[in-house]
Amino acid sequence: MIQQKVQVASEEPTVFAMATQQFNAAADKLGLNDGLRDVLGSCKREFTVNFPVKLDSGDIQVFTGHRVHHNVTRGPAKGGIRYHPNVTLDEVKALAMWMTWKCAVTNIPFGGGKGGVTCNPKSMSQGELERLTRRYATEISPLIGTVSDIPAPDVNTNGQTMAWIMDTISMHRGYTEPGIVTGKPISIGGTLGRTEATGRGVMLTAQEAAKHLGLSFEGARVVVQGYGNVGYWGAYLLQQLGCKVIAASDTRGAIYAEQGLDTEELLAHKTDSGSVAGFPGSDSITDAELLELPCEILVPAALEQQITGENAPKINTKIIVEGANGPTTPEADAIFYDRDIMVVPDILANAGGVVVSYFEWVQDIQRLFWEKDDVNERLESVMTRSFDQVLAASQEHKTDLRTAALLVAVERVADAVKIRGIYP
């Protein structure tokens, strides 16, 4: 069976070109010299594996996967693993670069990595997914490890996927190694608060942005594209604080309800039926219409390049909080800057996941586990401090929050490269 790859529309830059363009804007403002620009603009390691998996039918299928380290100067590579038909090396490289900046902007001691397998997990059985995961983990085992590279869940992977990876590597090494992945179930060394951490970070940064703009959460309309882990938890936590979630979508449909959606009931409906579509009391709309609904907070929490030069002029919100990685193209960013729409960039807005992953890794290494309140309080402190630093940089340099977040992050990584020096 040949995997279908959907190509990105040719007018859009590739995802890595987009990440590079964002980095160059910050590098220009920082006046980085050409050497440092080359170091920070390239991925240190790009590892591609083609590996066979036995399907339930008895057939064998060869899958392609990648694991990329963008920069590991500040610590081990950290980044999720994605299973999706559109995974490409280009996309994984961009996601790895964004991870470097995300860890630096929140000042946690990790570098940037990412992995992915080109596959359609929705058409695979649990047995096939387990065999694919265990084989992929084995193929990338030269790179991953508690002190070298620590994967986590991303699109279409979850705690179960991490448990299979942890078990596979532990079997090879002959001892249990919980610190090799984060986002694990609690029973094998996961942390309290990890599942909702990215959504909690979305909520916390939305709160800081709203505070800055003098916008009340009471009745504030929220629109969520992509009702998955990040989208659901972001929506749920915003609703808890008084916001009204009026629309949500997934790959199978988009819905709208002027009076607001009950986020928990919507999750139960999606879990039962496989989609948000058809939720009682809601109207069906298109995903394109969803993005253009009048609202106060728009949370893109699906995939890259959803908000472009084409739909940005029609977007009608005050704040965009990027739950997803790379949802907004540079062309759209420029439009939002002119239109005074605040974009809380991905490397800040969705950093809650990696911050709590860091807490999980620390607990695994120490074999000492924290209470949930400790996790949430520490997360809040990191997210609000990071937001304040980025806001201050945006005011100092008169830029949008994305460029400001990159200025903070790139400067930290550049300083680390300079002080360590170039080996030998």
- Residues found near ligand NAD in the complex (CB under 6 A): 153-156, 198, 225-231, 249-251, 287, 301-303, 323-325, 350, 353
Residue in 114, 184, 244, 270 annotated catalytic? 114
Cβ at position 352, least distance to ligand NAD in Å: 8
Cβ at position 163, least distance to ligand NAD in Å: 16
SS3 state at 383: helix
* DSSP annotation of 373: H
Cβ at position 353, least distance to ligand NAD in Å: 3
Structure-token pair, residue 61: 């299928």
In whole angstroms, what is the distance from residue 388 CA to residue 385 CA?
5
For ligand NAD, which is the closer residue by CB, 325 or 363? Answer: 325
In whole angstroms, what is the distance from residue 210 CA to residue 342 CA?
10
Cβ at position 82, least distance to ligand NAD in Å: 7
Q: Which residues contact 154 (CB under 8 A, 6 or more apart)?
A: 79, 80, 81, 82, 95, 114, 116
Cβ at position 406, least distance to ligand NAD in Å: 17
For ligand NAD, which is the closer residue by CB, 357 or 399? Answer: 357
352 with 383: CB under 8 angstroms?
Answer: yes
For ligand NAD, which is the closer residue by CB, 291 or 391? Answer: 291
Angle (deg, nearest 10), helices 352-366 and 89-105: 80
Q: Which residue is nearest to ligand NAD (CB)?
A: 228
Q: Within 13 Å, how many C-alpha atoms sit on residue 78's CB side?
A: 29
For ligand NAD, which is the closer residue by CB, 65 or 414? Answer: 65
Cβ at position 338, least distance to ligand NAD in Å: 26
Is 114 one of the catalytic residues?
A: yes
For ligand NAD, which is the closer residue by CB, 32 or 347? Answer: 347
Q: Within 13 Å, how many C-alpha atoms sit on residue 315's CB side?
A: 33
For ligand NAD, which is the closer residue by CB, 179 or 323? Answer: 323
In whole angstroms, what is the distance from residue 290 CA to residue 255 CA?
8
Q: Cα separations (Å) of 149 from 55, 71, 177, 299, 412?
A: 29, 11, 13, 29, 20
In whole angstroms, what is the distance from residue 119 CA to residue 385 CA?
38
Residues assigned a catalytic role: 114
